[in-house]
């Protein structure tokens, strides 16, 4: 049976069942602190030793958002638990945050990868901003400190963009430049603005939106390309021979077009401008035109500059970000076609991506919607995208007078 996907009750219940896939057995109270990051389809933890910065931050986000939505005080100590792990385990003397850490048989922590990724710092900001909203006042200091680190080490005023990665002691800058870290910084900075009301964060989020969805997109068929060289020139060849690369795939990513669409509409709430809605529509509509699978349903992972599909796999986060963008577009424009897209994406996801037995979403399916393996949530997932998308639709309802579904 299909649910009423536009119902607030449905969205709240789906958040609860998704979170309960992880809670409470995700909490590591005895090994190294923080949370466990690797889950099989049935919730079995298959790696108790490895900690990834992205999962560590996203668990803080998950619990802080749940507290803000449901006012359940049982989540408060878990937010603190996650913040402590970020500051005591991931944070390094350099001021950066280790990308990957692991405990040995004696439960001693070791750094596996100390690379300082801009992407990781974006999620440190996001986690602290949501925690600040939830009442953790010390997070304001962390936000300010990470902002200054990003200003001094990553931001390139000449290009109005952030570089991607620096080594552990901040002595070597990698030549790769990418839009993904900048997109998630835009997301984090919008949340920082909401948490602090400091307009420096809002203004920088707007700058990033202009850089990637207007300036750079004008050279990229009006869309957002992923990869650049050190002078921020488009690198059309990067990973051309590896379009399925997990972190830096070649091709246009429909999920990032729609994720930018969502961010532009959030920015429009705080700083209304006509171009934000226009670009949001263009990015979403073009992504659906090229990537919706009319045979098997769902949104494909990647398409080439000529519009052909280069990766037909179905990823959970692409569907989630896209239904959130569709809902925000429906409210911003009043165009019913976006509610049609919202329901269509949800119907596909409900049928294929959501695990109705154990909870949460499957991470990745083949083009014809078959599982590759039984690893539902390896490091990095945590269903931050799926629950976050539901929260965003709920928030959009709340911001519209009489907007209860």
Q: Which residues participate in catalysis according to the annotation?
A: 256, 385
Identify whether the C-beta of residue 249 lies closer than 8 Å to the C-beta of residue 302. Answer: yes
Identify whether the C-beta of residue 164 lies closer than 8 Å to the C-beta of residue 118. Answer: yes
Show the tokens assigned to 123: 């999620």
Please tell me whether residue 113 adopts helix, strand or coil conformation.
Answer: strand
Give the rounded distance of the alpha carbon of 395 from its chain centre.
17
Helix (H) or strand (E) run with residue 177 in it: strand 177-178
Contacts of residue 218, Cβ cutoff 8 Å, sequence gap at least 6 = none
Strand partners, 50: 102
Burial call 329-361: b when 16+ CB within 10 Å, e when fewer: bbbbeeeeebbebbbbbbebbbebbbbeeebbb
Ranges of H-type helices in 214-273: 254-270
Are β-strands 45-47 and 38-40 bridged in parallel, bridged antiparallel, or unpaired? Answer: antiparallel
Please tell me whether residue 402 adopts helix, strand or coil conformation.
Answer: coil
**Phi, psi for 187 (deg, rounded to 5):** -60, -50
Please tell me whether residue 72 adopts helix, strand or coil conformation.
Answer: coil
| Sign of the four-CA dihedral 175, 205, 326, 320 | positive
The number of helix segments (H) and strand segments (E) in the chain equals 12, 16
Burial call 213-227: b when 16+ CB within 10 Å, e when fewer: beebbeebeebbbbb
N residues, the chain: 405
Three-state SS string over 100-126 comes to EEEECCCCCEEEEECCEEHHHHHHHHH
Show the tokens assigned to 156: 């390139």
């Amino acid at each position: 049976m299909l649910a009423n996907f536009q119902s607030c009750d449905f969205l709240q219940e789906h958040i609860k069942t998704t979170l309960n896939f992880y809670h409470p057995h995700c909490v590591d109270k005895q090994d190294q602190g923080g949370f466990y990051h690797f889950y099989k389809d049935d919730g079995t933890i298959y790696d108790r030793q490895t900690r990834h910065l992205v999962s560590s931050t996203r668990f803080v986000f998950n619990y802080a958002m749940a507290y803000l939505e449901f006012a359940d005080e049982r989540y408060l100590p878990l937010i603190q638990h996650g913040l402590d792990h970020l500051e005591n385990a991931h944070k390094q003397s350099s001021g950066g945050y280790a990308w990957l850490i692991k405990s040995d048989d004696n439960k001693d922590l070791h750094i596996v990868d100390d690379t300082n990724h801009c992407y990781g710092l974006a999620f440190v900001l996001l986690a602290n901003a949501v925690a600040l909203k939830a009442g953790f006042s010390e997070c304001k200091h962390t936000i300010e400190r990470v902002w200054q680190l990003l200003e001094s080490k990553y931001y390139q005023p000449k290009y109005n963009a952030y570089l991607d990665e620096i080594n552990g002691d901040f002595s070597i800058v990698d030549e790769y430049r990418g839009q993904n870290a900048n997109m998630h910084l835009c997301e984090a900075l919008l949340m920082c603005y909401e948490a602090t009301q400091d307009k420096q964060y809002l203004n920088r989020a707007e700058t990033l939106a202009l850089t990637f969805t207007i300036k750079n997109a004008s050279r990229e068929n009006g869309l957002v390309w992923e990869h650049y060289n050190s002078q921020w020139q488009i690198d059309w060849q990067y990973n051309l021979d590896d379009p399925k690369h997990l972190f830096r795939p070649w091709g246009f990513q429909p999920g990032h077009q729609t994720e930018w669409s969502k961010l532009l509409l959030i920015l429009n709430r705080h700083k209304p401008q006509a171009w934000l809605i226009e670009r949001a529509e263009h990015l979403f509509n073009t992504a659906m035109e090229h990537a919706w699978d009319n045979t098997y349903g769902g949104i494909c992972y990647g398409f080439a500059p000529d519009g052909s599909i280069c990766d037909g796999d179905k990823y959970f986060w692409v569907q989630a970000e896209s239904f959130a963008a569709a809902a925000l577009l429906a409210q911003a424009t009043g165009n019913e076609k976006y509610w049609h897209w919202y329901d269509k994406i949800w119907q596909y996801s409900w049928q294929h991506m959501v695990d109705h037995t154990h909870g949460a979403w499957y991470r990745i399916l083949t083009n014809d919607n078959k599982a590759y393996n039984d690893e539902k949530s390896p490091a990095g997932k945590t269903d931050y995208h799926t629950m976050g998308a539901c929260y965003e639709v709920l928030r959009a309802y709340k911001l519209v007078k009489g907007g209860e579904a």
